[in-house]
Amino acid sequence: MKPVVGVMQAWSCIVISVFAIVILSIIGALFKSNNHALLGGKEDPEDGAAVAATVFGAVVVYAIFIVGCGFQAFLHFRDNRRGAISLS
């Protein structure tokens, strides 16, 4: 199987997705615990658990991106190990 995206795009996707998962997990945990900094104002949402569920849904989407981009990076690694030109 051949990679669909370039090696730089695959690794960039992995790095950005890992960063997004970490940040969104922290934000989701703060909403789930009804943190006053996120839910204390007039215009803030009232149901922190519902917001946390939405944020954790985004975490799942980024996890799917990591799997897909990781597979693309693996395909590039496998192609580089085999070599583009084989002299045998």
For the chain, what's the residue count? Answer: 88
Cα 14 to Cα 27, 41, 84, distances in angstroms? 20, 35, 25
Asked if 17 and 60 count as a contact pair (C-beta separation under 8 A), the reply is no
pLDDT digits (tens), the chain, 88 positions:
888 999 999 999 999 999 999 999 999 999 999 988 888 888 888 889 999 999 999 999 999 999 999 999 999 888 877 655 555 5
Residue 24 Cα distances to 1, 11, 44, 58, 71, angstroms: 33, 20, 18, 8, 23
pLDDT at 84: 56
Neighbours of 1 (CB within 10 A): 7
* pLDDT value of residue 85: 55
